[in-house]
Chain A
Amino acid sequence: MSAHRQTNSEPAYNFAYLDEQTKRMIRRAILKAIAIPGYQVPFASREMPMPYGWGTGGVQVTAAILGSEDTLKVIDQGADDTTNAVSIRAFFAKTAGVAVTTATEDATIIQTRHRIPEAALQGHQVLVYQVPIPEPLRFLEPRETETRTMHALAEYGLMHVKLYEDIARHGHIATTYDYPVHVAGRYVMDPSPIPKFDNPKMNDCAALQLFGAGREKRIYAIPPHTQVVSLDFEDHPFEATKFEHPCALCGATMSYLDEVVTDDKGGRMFVCSDTDFCEGRRAAGHHGHLYGGETLSKEAAE
């Protein structure tokens, strides 16, 4: 990925697309969100040149915090080369001329959809989540007026009843992604549709975590080193998803895996969803049982 910089590559638009007044409005919302961890701050979300539901909240948050010295990484499903990640990365390369990267450790801002990178994030990094439905109580109570009151009163009984009903019916909590968390002992928060495998990474994370929901016009945040607890019961503690297989390419046993259908006879292989993590391990000499030695990274980055 080239890291060229341009001061004004799209003169028709401001740096990083949004005008400065809009950025200031978004930054205020972000500051408020950081001050009240897990609280959903309403903000005047703008129409963006990509559709709602495709990351407009994340894009607005990124645009508001992006500086010319930043290095941006964008992932979708953990991968840098998925179409929407490519599109958003190209958007900022074009409208802001910032350096972009696929390497987690080189990035200062990482915008993500549905995953948290496997590598532990650092204090100088910001993780920006794209959020479709910011309200963890939405599917229990469709009315915003009701859910805001429930948050104000910290009235989360409905959520616990839902989790309890899961256990009564299935013997365990039947939520595998979008798994609600309790932030800093106050607000119940929707972590965005990351797999619950990623939930523990949110706790005491060194990086600032920002969440942008464009269509729903909400921003929320987890400041660095904040306690984030996945909801559970004493006798049914939270359990992250475990995989039975190692990654077929890099042999990792502690990463989240995508299941890839290899033929029409039920053939499957499991590979890391975090492409940068997987490539890094292969470069360091770790190989899975299906690793053929060719440079997948080159192909994928095209």
Chain B
Amino acid sequence: MYVAVKGGERAIANAHRLLADKRRGDREVPELAVEQIDEQLALAVDRVMSEGSLYDRKLAALAIKQARGDLIEAIFLIRAYRTTLPRFGFSEPLDTAEMAVRRRISATYKDLPGGQVLGPTFDYTHRLLDFALMATSNTEAPATAPHEPDVAMPRVTDIIASDDLIERNPPGVPGAEVADLTREPLSFPADRDLRLQNLARGDEGFLLALGYSTQRGYGRNHPFVGEIRLGEVEVELMVEELGFAVPLGDMTLTECQMVNQFSGSATEPARFTRGYGLSFGHCERRAMSMALVDRALRAEEFGEERKGPAQDEEFVLSHSDNVQATGFVEHLKLPHYVDFQAELALLREMRLEFTSKQNPETLEAAE
């Protein structure tokens, strides 16, 4: 007899209850606090803030806890929350030259004003499991140096620009509207502001793979890391009533400026070109990948042949968002039996036609 094969409300409620139980895990193990995630899984928090497009460490940590450590799920939670927030206004452009730098490295100059500052980095660590961390660690305090407020740390690209050896950034237009794909649907062709916004929210794995592909010849653009800098930048909001900008607080950012293959023309002398990456928090891999892809997407601007996926604007921008991607891939779990039924019927019909062509007698005998 027919059994109810379709899901009911009670089944859904019970599945969610079971999920909550699995999230908590063994009750003998202390529950993870949001503060612990924020402090000790800080790079996961940074990624969730970046791709969730919401600068809020506590909420990102909460999302990671709720998502059981599934970062794309956490990013989704943040996005769905973010979209309900009212928009008060737009901040003033951030000035990363004024960053309180914690890390700053350049691969193009051995030494430069402000020096190379390694900061907290996995670079040059030996990737050997540290079994001491199995137990509670007793970590020593970091080494410190006296604060030197007078040491300027100009951006490497500004140094190169002073010799006119790199393309100039287009002058900013005060009050100009900046594209916002969270308020306007993505449309093509996209300008660089829109592309950068898209990449800044894009999936780190996707950007990494695309950036990597440019290094392997699919849209090669000869990059050098001009500079990566990590630190805090003040965010300011212009308040019309007051007539001046008011500081809202500090934001941790990672900025990557790639210096790429030069180009020139009959009217312009040869210059290096730029690829730009920016991320909330400490996300060097994504900032670098973003810079590579940004440069690749500028192919047309420099009259380069577009032959790699990373240079294909529609391909990159339409598939970079992991919340969209995961939703659509995972929607295949939803029931499709109506469509499948239609395919079944067609398949049977086609097989019947095939059999009758191969073997007309059998069919007649069966009829």
Which of A's residues lie within 8 Å of B, judged by CB? 13, 17, 19, 42-49, 51-54, 56, 76-79, 81-84, 86-87, 90, 113-115, 132, 142-145, 170-171, 174, 176-178, 193-197, 215, 217-218, 241, 243, 248-249, 256-260, 262, 269, 271, 273, 290, 292, 296, 299-302
In the complex, the answer to whether B331 meets A132 with C-beta atoms within 8 Å is yes
In the complex, the answer to whether A42 meets B185 with C-beta atoms within 8 Å is yes
Interface residues of B in 107-146 (CB under 8 A from A): none
Is B162 close to A, CB under 8 A? no
**In whole angstroms, what is the CA distance A43 to B183 when docked?**
9
In the complex, the answer to whether A170 meets B338 with C-beta atoms within 8 Å is no
In the complex, the answer to whether B2 meets A296 with C-beta atoms within 8 Å is yes
Interface residues of B in 79-101 (CB under 8 A from A): 79-80, 82-84, 86
Select from chain A the residue with minimum beta-carbon distance to B329: A53
Select B330's contact among A19, A48, A53, A132, beta carbons within 8 Å: A53
In the complex, the answer to whether A76 meets B334 with C-beta atoms within 8 Å is yes
| Interchain pairs with CB closer than 8 A, number | 155
Is B9 close to A, CB under 8 A? yes
Select from chain B the residue with minimum beta-carbon distance to A19: B84
Whole-angstrom distance from the CB of A106 to the nearest CB of chain B? Answer: 19
Select from chain B the residue with minimum beta-carbon distance to A113: B334
Select A197's contact among B10, B189, B342, B343, beta carbons within 8 Å: B342
In the complex, the answer to whether A257 meets B341 with C-beta atoms within 8 Å is yes
Is B314 close to A, CB under 8 A? yes
**In whole angstroms, what is the CA distance A44 to B10 when docked?**
35
Give 1 or 0 for each of B280-298: 1 = CB within 8 Å of chain A CB.
0000000000000000000
- Per DSSP, chain B at the interface is helix
Q: Which stretch (B207-215, B237-245, B319-327) binds chain A? A: B319-327
List 3 tightest A-B contacts by C-beta distance, closest first. A52-B327, A53-B331, A51-B327
Q: Which stretch (B17-25, B31-39, B219-227, B344-352) binds chain A? A: B344-352
Q: Beyond A258-B337, A299-B4, is A176–B346 a contact (Cβ under 8 Å)?
A: yes
Residues of B within 8 A of A42 (CB): 185, 187
Extra pairs beyond A241-B345, A249-B2, A273-B338 (15, CB < 8 Å)? A47-B82, A84-B335, A86-B9, A90-B9, A114-B339, A115-B338, A194-B338, A197-B342, A215-B328, A217-B186, A241-B342, A243-B345, A257-B341, A258-B337, A292-B2
How many B residues, CB 8 Å from partner? 50
Select B342's contact among A52, A196, A269, A290, beta carbons within 8 Å: A196
Residues of B within 8 A of A174 (CB): 346, 350
In the complex, the answer to whether A51 meets B7 with C-beta atoms within 8 Å is no
**In whole angstroms, what is the CA distance A83 to B336 when docked?**
12
Which of B's residues lie within 8 Å of A, judged by CB? 1-2, 4-12, 76, 79-80, 82-84, 86, 182-189, 314, 318, 323-324, 326-331, 334-339, 341-346, 350, 353
Q: Beyond A46-B83, A197-B342, is A260–B5 a contact (Cβ under 8 Å)?
A: yes
Select B327's contact among A44, A194, A215, beta carbons within 8 Å: A215
**In whole angstroms, what is the CA distance A196 to B86 when docked?**
43
In the complex, the answer to whether A145 meets B79 with C-beta atoms within 8 Å is no
Q: Beyond A46-B83, A302-B8, is A258–B185 a contact (Cβ under 8 Å)?
A: no
In the complex, the answer to whether B1 meets A292 with C-beta atoms within 8 Å is yes
Q: Beyond A86-B9, A302-B9, is A195–B335 a contact (Cβ under 8 Å)?
A: no
Select B185's contact among A217, A248, A256, A300, beta carbons within 8 Å: A217
Whole-angstrom distance from the CB of A177 to the nearest CB of chain B? Answer: 4
**In whole angstroms, what is the CA distance A90 to B86 when docked?**
25
Select A195's contact among B10, B12, B338, beta carbons within 8 Å: B338
Select from chain A the residue with minimum beta-carbon distance to B183: A44
In the complex, the answer to whether B327 meets A53 with C-beta atoms within 8 Å is yes
Q: Beyond A44-B182, A145-B189, A174-B346, is A259–B331 a contact (Cβ under 8 Å)?
A: no
Residues of B within 8 A of A144 (CB): 188, 314, 318
What are 22 residue pairs bridging A and B, where the CB atoms are less than 8 Å apart in the complex? A17-B84, A19-B86, A42-B187, A46-B83, A47-B79, A47-B323, A52-B324, A52-B328, A53-B330, A81-B4, A81-B6, A84-B335, A86-B8, A145-B188, A176-B343, A177-B342, A193-B336, A195-B339, A243-B345, A290-B1, A292-B1, A300-B6
Whole-angstrom distance from the CB of A279 to the nearest CB of chain B? Answer: 13
Residues of A within 8 A of B83 (CB): 46-48
Whole-angstrom distance from the CB of B165 to the nearest CB of chain A? Answer: 35
Residues of B within 8 A of A243 (CB): 345
In the complex, the answer to whether A114 meets B314 with C-beta atoms within 8 Å is no
Residues of B within 8 A of A258 (CB): 337-338, 341
Whole-angstrom distance from the CB of B177 to the nearest CB of chain A? Answer: 14
In the complex, the answer to whether A132 meets B328 with C-beta atoms within 8 Å is yes
Residues of B within 8 A of A43 (CB): 185
Residues of B within 8 A of A292 (CB): 1-2
Select B323's contact among A52, A77, A290, beta carbons within 8 Å: A52
In the complex, the answer to whether B84 meets A13 with C-beta atoms within 8 Å is yes
In the complex, the answer to whether B330 meets A300 with C-beta atoms within 8 Å is no
Residues of A within 8 A of B346 (CB): 174, 176
In the complex, the answer to whether B185 meets A176 with C-beta atoms within 8 Å is no
Interface centre among A76, A256, A257 (most CB of B within 10 A): A76
Select from chain B the residue with minimum beta-carbon distance to A257: B341
Residues of A within 8 A of B326 (CB): 51-52
Whole-angstrom distance from the CB of B273 to the nearest CB of chain A? Answer: 25
